[in-house]
Amino acid sequence: MTALLPFQRRVVDALLDEDALCIVARGLGLRRVVAEFCRICATPQALVFLLNASDTEEQALQQQLMALRSGHADACTLRVIKNETNPAARAQLYRQGGLISVTSRILVVDLLNDIVPIELVTGLIVLDANRVTAESTEAFILRMVRSRNPQAFVKAVSESPESFTLGFAPLEKTLKALGLRHVQLWPRFHVLVQEDLASAKAPVAELRLPPTRAMIELQQAALDCVSATISELSSATKLLDPDAINVESSLFRYFDALVKRMLAPHWHRLNARVRGMVTDLAALRRVAELITAYDCVSLLKYLDTLLLATKSPTQAPPLWLASDSANILYSVARSRVFSRRTATEASGDEANSDQMRLLGLPGSIVPALEVPPKLLLLAKLLEEVGVANRTAIRQGRSSTSGPVLVMTGSARECQMIRTFLATAHETVDLGPGGKHPKMMADLLRGFFRWKAHMNSGSGGTAGRGRCNNNGTNSGATSSPSVAAPPQPQSQAARRGAPAAKRRRVRGASAAGAKLPRAPADALEQETATLAAHIEIHADGSQPLSHTGLDDPHGLEGINPDDIDDGWLDAADEMPEFDEFYGILPASETVLVRPYSTSGDSDFLSLLQPTHIILYDPDPAFIRQVEMYQAQGHVLSQVYFMVYDNSIEEQRYLSAIRRERESFETLIRQNASLVIPISTASPVNALLLARRSQRTAVHIPMGTPTIVVDVREFYSPLPSLLHAAGFNVVPRTIAVGDYILHDHLCVERKSLPDLIQSLRSGRLFNQAESMIAHYSYAVLLIEFEMNTSFSLQAIGSLNPDIAVNSINSQLTMLVLTFPRLRIVWSSSPYETASIFTELKRDAAEPDIDRAVAMGQDDSSVEKESIYASHPISLLQSLPGVTLRNYQALANRFKSISDICAASKDDLVSVLGMEAAIKLYEFIRNSSAN
């Protein structure tokens, strides 16, 4: 375990001095700071809860505490409580004290059930404080602990400063939800941080690679598509902030959520075309990111898969696919992989055509297989480093040689690099295309087999009905009924597009939209040829790809097992084991890791690299390298690789600038931040404001009680009910979600849950159970905060009855259960006000009775006395349910007796509604 740097000790001391929200820049070792603070709290004399910790963070923190506790026998480690831990075991752990990581839902239930000794709670540590809102479960926990134990400390940490600058007063809202008044900011430009990291600077070699011409054209085309889609979306909605929604911000992953959040309150007024453009922006952002991250074959496969996924016989294709930039995007992406020879050229070169067919490739193509420039440079760098390390060993300086660490942006890139390095010395002669690396040839074979599968099998049916059987590039031709979006006049578009395309503008005629497009037409013909060829020659004798890309759905990663099998085929023929196996010296070891695995502060200290190659730029890891050397470790060289004037470079520079601007904004807000010394919870304030708007609402004397199902604590409603003054009693109940009194049961449904329950039929069973046990059964349909209070979009309502229509399913539910009442709520805050009115002048619920409802197993025991076939027939009759069929079986001896019974007899057993259904069914069947 590495020692803390001076500024990190200052962060720990500041957290010990006061309750505060600590915001640290990424890469400055926040995990190490949290581990040190947890080491101080991990003692039996204290009871400290750790909230918002993921499984990975819990495991890393346990390992760090184990390393820090060496020499201290009485020190405690981190104990984790999951769903598998029963209440009795949890109560014992709480009494023992120490540092406990527990999920928010479990902790809030234990607090309400008095399992947690609140008077013994020393404090709470909240990770990822940017996720805490006034409606979150963490705010509920903090409010309960602070109300009954004001001495408990609260320490909140976060390394996402950007989250506290989005929206209206996010910093102030977070502080109120946490119950804190102080903010501690630690940016990279902090004076103490600069002093510690400036003492030792690693020798950095910045390698700026010029992207290939094809990559430049691809990036320009992708950005043109993004720009056109943003312009079209802005003109169609007038709801987007032009300062926040632009091409530069689209390079980041938060862009999709930002657009949806701006449009959420008006979502029901948006038509399908506008909603489709929101989805298109997410897809285009991903394409722009993959131009520099993927190899040429994988990028082409991703584009083809994206085209197939966006085609539907009932929906129009995305507007950006009808643009000239989309044509450039697809045609250039294919030109990096292969080009097609004419029939004359192929017939005149039968030898190369036969060689291509033997390799599992069509004979009418010329493979291009552009290798990413970074891969070629990486291979040269590793060769140079290997020569330098071997020279150092010969000169007796082996102690300064360590492993080479290559850091990438994703696990997909890690597998690509490992495959390329393992097969870099192998080439494959691809006939007219010349020799190419084995990895690229394997990728090309896998691409063609996947293409044939998508055209001849079930994979190709997704695009049929609108496109040809290839389903790959016919979408580049615009639909006659869809107008093309306005085209940005980029140099690439003007240079690569014919005159007819440059003249085509929005609102073009159908004839103009049907003009043949060279990229789409060529790919269409090529796909048909490939499908026919693969069907003839795919007999199992073709060499398999070692990259795992044969899976038509494997877009996100490569199968390592396939790679290993391909590399070690000759292992059985090796004569001497010791000659090929053993412990490699550190100087000959190359480690390839994604940035996602470098979150641990001791990541570099455990690997001890002397050479680091940053395959993709990442500001957080660069700071980790600075801290690694500031701790006294030796680095021979750091290589920083980036494509010059590329989207990759722009994303890196924008991330640094955005973080700096966020910290500067937080510094200004912190200087003028005004928070009252004694302030009510923001939840209470809003509830009081809503309550004041309702006149003649009588609040019952005492504390009203509501029994809540424990599964409901994933929603914010129990927290709001507690803030509104209700006594929330968590229990596992079988009927309903909320029991307001002994005669009223409420089943709460959010919109996604409502749709899923209607389609699966589960809601019908729940409604039947509520009506059987309670006099008043209520279905509460609750909408989320800041979303449109509309079940369906305007214009999408269908007057006809449809199986998949939500309106039709709700109508059938009401007709089936006339006693079921439906209550609509615009937000959880409104639901709390509705519950206040429903509880007016009502007796408190019997908790034991609410738990016992629906858990009577006597009916199961009685089923054994009935014959199975007549009971099955009885249950299939209209009006007969699982709740009343036993009453019929006890009253009547056979089905014939039920058919001969009078209407009054059936009413006395089943009730009016069910008896009428059964009686009319029997009489109509007899008449027929």
Highest mean pLDDT among 542-556, 808-822, 856-870: 808-822
As a whole number of angstroms, the distance between CA 277 and CA 245 comes to 13
When pLDDT is averaged across residues 174-200 and rounded to a whole number, the result is 90
For the chain, percent of residues with pLDDT exceeding 90: 29
As a whole number of angstroms, the distance between CA 498 and CA 349 comes to 32
Query: What pLDDT band is residue 400 in, cutting at 50, 70 and 90?
Result: low
When pLDDT is averaged across residues 766-789 and rounded to a whole number, the result is 86
C-beta atoms surrounding 114 within 10 Å: 9
Copy the structure tokens of residue 238: 């007038």
Copy the structure tokens of residue 218: 């691809």
CA distances from 242 to 223, 225, 245, 257, 899 (A): 17, 17, 5, 16, 71
Instruction: Kindly tell me if the per-residue pLDDT of 676 is higher than 80.
Output: no
Q: What is the largest CA-CA distance in the chain?
A: 107
Query: What pLDDT band is residue 665 in, cutting at 50, 70 and 90?
Result: very high
Non-local CB neighbours of 633 within 8 Å, separated by 6+ positions: 604, 605, 608
Q: Are the CB atoms for 710 and 730 separated by under 8 Å? A: yes
Query: What pLDDT band is residue 565 in, cutting at 50, 70 and 90?
Result: very low
Query: What pLDDT band is residue 264 in, cutting at 50, 70 and 90?
Result: confident
Non-local CB neighbours of 159 within 8 Å, separated by 6+ positions: 23, 24, 25, 26, 28, 30
pTM of the model: 0.77
Helix axes 373-394, 411-422, angle to 10 degrees: 60
As a whole number of angstroms, the distance between CA 232 and CA 396 comes to 66
Query: pLDDT tens digit string along 469-519?
Result: 333 333 333 333 333 333 333 443 333 433 333 333 333 333 333 333 334
Task: Specify the pLDDT at position 239.
Answer: 77
Amino acid at 451: K
Query: What pLDDT band is residue 797 in, cutting at 50, 70 and 90?
Result: low
Higher confidence at residue 767 or residue 432? 767
Strand partners, 283: none
Non-local CB neighbours of 629 within 8 Å, separated by 6+ positions: 200, 201, 202, 635
Q: Can you list the alpha helix ranges (DSSP code H) found in 423-555?
A: 438-456, 491-496, 499-503, 510-513, 518-537
Q: What string of DSSP letters covers 260-296? A: HHHHGGGGGG--HHHHHHHHHHHHHHHHHHHHHHS-H
Report the half-sphere exposure of 285 (CA within 13 A, side-chain side). Answer: 22
Task: Specify the pLDDT at position 361.
Answer: 78
